[in-house]
Structure 1
């Protein structure tokens, strides 16, 4: 019995410390309210360390994974399966949210708050696509604002290493070594997670908590309820698809740290290290997890898909428009796919997605955008939970379909 107790504490000590930090932070936020902003810099320090380490981590994980693939044909098959899984889960999550707003219709008026709007980059669609997938100088790749461009560049470097054969063996060894070093570095940084995430939870509860009970309570209640339902029911279904009961147990027993990191940081990118670690413990093949999870961070967003449906529904209720028209729903599904892609790829991507929806439906920008932005802020924690955890469950399904992985 004593041995079991020691093993439990050893295996789950990091999770228990993380939970402890989050609970303490949440209590401080409830007690002190906005005064808790004084400890926000502690959370900022942790998050800044995480973000600075993520850029080299993504580079080394993707390049080393691609460089060590045995067959180039395998890469094409992997990408097709991955894109199919990403698109499928994004559309399913959107349909779940549409069903939720039909079952629990939103009819209330929303108070339009006067908040400063962040500047939105202008330019043609072609210009935006060019900025999304490339950077015009090498140093610009070393920023999370150019995340998709970095991923594409990393993939190309890995493919070039794969094609170089024996002459590139030393470089491939360097990539493997760099990947291991960055994993160790992330392990060191994550030791600060209980304090860093605790401070962030305190800030979120203290600053944004009161708004959850105001005019936005009904739509937020519908959204959080639908997300919780999707998280437990559909992620469980995905796990069974990936490998039955064994995969189900593997997923739910290893996704606690990624889940808490996602909710605490409100960043899919910041959750990539925790996702990679969890995926390794689940037994997902290295070349699968090292491609699917870093690519999923900026490209695959189930939670953002659901939030875009919520924003459209609330704006339609606010301006007295009908959301039941089939063409309106099809258009909303198309917008959710686009938002899922652009939101994590370019600066202010979420705002561009909101502007896209507002423009397509012909709503007044001055009134509609502040409401969409406030909703985006308030749904961010659970949206990020679905975005980040969706990458792990997607990598399990990709492993099942591409590698016939048996858990």
Structure 2
């Protein structure tokens, strides 16, 4: 009980300070503007750290891989399933927001950038999001996806160099630890920074801003519960029919409660592996899919990101008008849930990527960070339990539809022992 309470301690403190800032803004009105510099200084420091954090954390992870051939096929299949389930989650949330909508009681001035992005076609949007024409542009928070593409390419190149690249890989790993620690230290000031920022926001826009959060909670959590029981059941059914659904939910309860209680996919990881064993998923599959999924399989985050994109489009008068707009938003959400989620402090990185892709102003970041905190428990539940379902899907693809009848772990043990 203590561990579960402590896992919620930081977000509860953050929410309490944001609520206090909102109250100050309502009471002080426009006079709350004197707090704006405090919030903006904290926000600027966070923006400065995000680019090197993303570069060093992702590149060091890829550069540290020494034997990619052994698990290459399995990883390719795993990432493919991650992308497909994330896309399904994103489309599902578009349908939910299309039916129930988001709060539109206020609109915040977005500036010219959002209008320029809106005017671009889907092809141009994707080109501008994933690439830049000059190196200095790639190390800017305004081009996060292009940075990720460059970072992945850099990490792969270091890995391919083998022994010659090992000193570089170690250097990248050490630098990633430094920037991870810097972000952790800066986030200790997050309650104060967000209090100041939200006092200014609510002082400017009034209590209507808070309606967006209440509506978000009322939409996201029912949607997340439906996704858990419908979509994860569907994936289990695709792997092993009714047997898969029955046994999936039979074995997923303890990992699900652990993920929900601790808000940590890592804390639930050993229990997810145990659930895979009980389901008959071979350990050569679960030992790859579940740990990789804990860092880059975030269907819950994809659902949340789609909601946040739709909300910001309403807040900043940047409507999604065409199929191309919706497709671009889905690409951003899926790319973020698979790539940026592996970055320590990935919530801020994900929100920054959304802001840069759509041209939203910096004021969107505190709004989205708060929304992420409110959604986090539901996100973790879906993210974590989705890894076990993904392991079943990978096993079905590799071993056929009768995989659960084959005692695959027992066969592997006999092969290893030579009996």
Q: Same fold (TM over 0.5)?
A: yes
Structure 2 residue runs of 5 or longer lacking an equivalent are: 17-60, 109-138, 159-168, 181-209, 406-419
Q: Are 2:180 and 1:136 aligned?
A: no
Number of paired residues?
A: 279
Structure 1 residue runs of 5 or longer lacking an equivalent are: 1-17, 35-58, 113-120, 147-212
Q: Are 2:323 and 1:326 aligned?
A: yes
Residue among 247, 257, 278 paired with 2:275: 278
Task: Give me the whole-angstrom Cα distance separating, in 2, the residues matched to 1:142 and 1:325.
Answer: 39
Report the secondary structure of 1:270's partner residue. helix
Larger deviation, residues 79-88 vs 246-255: 79-88
Q: Are 2:361 and 1:361 aligned?
A: no
Larger deviation, residues 368-377 vs 268-277: 268-277
Task: Give me the whole-angstrom Cα distance separating, in 1, the residues matched to 2:338 and 2:312.
Answer: 22
Q: Are 2:404 and 1:406 aligned?
A: yes
Report the secondary structure of 2:82's partner residue. helix
CA deviation vs aligned residue, 1:111-139 (integer Å, no higher than 9, x gap): 99xxxxxxxx9677166447877843497
1:290, CA displacement in angstroms?
Answer: 0.5
TM-score between the two structures when normalised by the length of structure 2: 0.58
1:193-212 to structure 2, matched below 5 A, reads none
Q: Are 2:406 and 1:372 aligned?
A: no
1:67-106 to structure 2, matched below 5 A, reads 75-106=71-102
**Contact kept in structure 2, 1:342 and 1:350, CA below 8 Å:** no
**Contact kept in structure 1, 2:279 and 2:404, CA below 8 Å:** no
**Contact kept in structure 2, 1:338 and 1:353, CA below 8 Å:** no
1:22, CA displacement in angstroms?
Answer: 6.6
Report the secondary structure of 1:85's partner residue. helix
Task: Give me the whole-angstrom Cα distance separating, in 1, the residues matched to 2:266 and 2:258.
Answer: 11
**Contact kept in structure 1, 2:87 and 2:334, CA below 8 Å:** yes
**Contact kept in structure 1, 2:332 and 2:354, CA below 8 Å:** yes
Q: Are 2:312 and 1:315 aligned?
A: yes
**Contact kept in structure 2, 1:297 and 1:391, CA below 8 Å:** yes
**Contact kept in structure 2, 1:77 and 1:402, CA below 8 Å:** no
**Contact kept in structure 2, 1:132 and 1:346, CA below 8 Å:** no
**Contact kept in structure 1, 2:239 and 2:393, CA below 8 Å:** yes
CA deviation vs aligned residue, 1:239-294 (integer Å, no higher than 9, x gap): 11010111111110011111112112222233211211211122111101111101
Q: Are 2:294 and 1:294 aligned?
A: no
1:78, CA displacement in angstroms?
Answer: 2.5
Q: Are 2:348 and 1:351 aligned?
A: yes
Task: Give me the whole-angstrom Cα distance separating, in 2, the residues matched to 1:274 and 1:94.
Answer: 27
Judging changes above 3 Å, is the alpha-carbon distance between structure 1 residues 111 and 273 closer, same or farther for their aligned structure 2 residues? farther
Larger deviation, residues 129-138 vs 273-282: 129-138
- Please provide the CA RMSD for this pair: 3.8
Q: Are 2:249 and 1:232 aligned?
A: no
**Contact kept in structure 1, 2:343 and 2:349, CA below 8 Å:** no
Judging changes above 3 Å, is the alpha-carbon distance between structure 1 residues 98 and 237 closer, same or farther for their aligned structure 2 residues? same
**Contact kept in structure 2, 1:145 and 1:346, CA below 8 Å:** no
Task: Give me the whole-angstrom Cα distance separating, in 2, the residues matched to 1:145 and 1:259.
Answer: 31
Judging changes above 3 Å, is the alpha-carbon distance between structure 1 residues 273 and 137 closer, same or farther for their aligned structure 2 residues? farther
TM-score between the two structures when normalised by the length of structure 1: 0.60
User: What is the match of residue 219 of structure 1?
Assistant: 216
